[in-house]
Amino acid sequence: MDRRSFLKTSAGAVAGAVLSSSLAAALAQGGLEGEDVAKLDAALQKALGKGYKDLEPSKDVKLVAPTIAESGANVPVEIEAALPAEEVKAIHCFCDKNPTPLLFSVFLSGVAPYYATRIRIAETAPVRAVVETKDGKLLLASQSVRVTVGGCG
Amino acid sequence: MPVQILIRFNPAKPKAGDDVRVQIVAQHPMEPGTRKDANGKTIPANYITELNVIFDGQTVAQIRPTGGTSANPLFALKMKAVKAGQLKVTYKDLAGDSGEKTADLALA
C-alpha cells in the first residue's frame, strides 16, 4: 500500500470512528447520568403545566455547560436558540436533582433568544434547557454535569 | 443592604446593527434556603426573585431566578444595537429589598 492510499483509508476509518462515537452519544441521550425524570416531571408540571413527555428534544436549542464542574455552587451555563427572536417566548432551565429543580425562567421580548448565567447544581445530574416558543412548543436540550462538590448544602 | 448592580456592554460601543451582549452582575448572596450555618441552623432563603431589564422604556427581559442561581449572579442577554438608549434594571428579592440601576448604551 502506498502512502497516499494509506492516508485515505485511515482518514476514512478515523471519520467512521468519530461518527459512531457521536452516534453512541446520541443514543445515550435516553439515559443521562444522574437522571431523575419523576422529579423533573413534577417540577415541569408546577412551572409550565406540562410533563416531560410534552418536551421536544431539538437541535435548535444549544446548551453550553461544562461536563465536569468542580464546584456545584457556580456553574456557567449558556442557552441559545437558533430560532427567530420573535418566535421565542421564554427560556426555562431545570436541573433534575436540585431541591428546587426550576433554576430560572426568562421571558424575552425584542432581544435575541440567548441567556447566560451561573447556576447551582446539588449533585451530578442533567441540566435541561427548555425553550418555550410563541406557538406553545417546548424545545429541550439536556446535558449531564458531573459535580464533585454540591452547591446547595 | 442595598445591592450593588453592575451593567456592562460588550463591546462597550457597538456599531449600529451589531449584536451587543448585556452583562448584569448583582452582588447578592442568593441564599437558597438549604444551607446551614456553623451552628447547624438553616440560613433563611434570600434570593432575587425578579429582575426586569428595560431598554428605552420597553421591557426586553423578565428574569425570574430561584435559589438555583449562584451567589453574585451574572445575567447575560444579547440584543441588536439599533439605537442608543438607556438600559434600566430593576430587581426584587425575598427579603423585600428592591432597587434599580441604569446604564447608557452608546453607539460607535
Cβ within 8 Å, pair B58-A118:
no
Q: Could you tell me if A62 lies within 8 Å of chain B, comparing CB atoms?
A: no
Whether A86 and A123 share a structural domain: yes
Query: What's the predicted TM-score (pTM) here?
Result: 0.81
A72 part of contact set with chain B, CB < 8 Å: no
Cβ distance B64 to B78 under 8 Å?
Answer: no
- Are A1 and A43 members of one domain? no
Inter-chain residue contact B65 with A117, CB threshold 8 Å: yes
Q: How many CB atoms lie within 10 A of CB B58?
A: 10
Q: Is residue A56 part of a domain?
A: yes
Q: Are residues A24 and A90 in the same domain?
A: no
Residue A28 backbone dihedrals phi, psi, to 5 degrees: -75, -10
Give the Cα separation of A82 and A76 in Å (integer): 20
pLDDT in tens, B66-81: 988 989 999 999 999 9
Residue B94 distance to chain A (closest CA, Å): 15
Nearest to A117 among B35, B58, B73 (CB): B73
Domains and CATH numbers, chain B: 4-105 (2.60.40.10)
State whether A72 and A97 are in the same domain. Answer: yes
Q: Is residue A17 part of a domain?
A: yes
A26 and A81 both lie in a single domain:
no
* Mean pLDDT, residues B32-59 taken together: 89
Q: Is residue A87 domain-shared with residue A12, that is, in the same domain?
A: no
- Examine the domain organization and report whether A135 and A65 are in the same domain: yes
Chain B contact for A71 (CB, 8 A cutoff): no
Q: Which ipTM did the prediction report? A: 0.88
Measured between alpha carbons, how far is A64 from A145 in angstroms, rounded to an integer? 11
CB contact under 8 A, B32 and A106: no
CA atoms within 13 A on the CB side of A95: 30
pLDDT tens string A54-82: 999 999 999 999 999 988 889 999 999 99
Assess B83–A contact: CB distance below 8 Å, yes or no.
no
pLDDT tens-digit profile of A89-142?
999 999 999 988 999 999 999 899 999 999 999 989 999 999 999 998 999 999
Write the residue in A93, A108, A116 that is nearest to B76 by C-beta. A116
Structurally, chain A folds into a number of domains equal to 2
Question: In this structure, is residue A150 part of a structural domain?
Answer: no
Q: How far apart are CA B46 and CA B22, in angstroms?
A: 25
Question: For residue A128, what are the domain limits?
Answer: 37-145
Assess whether A65 and A129 both reside in one domain: yes
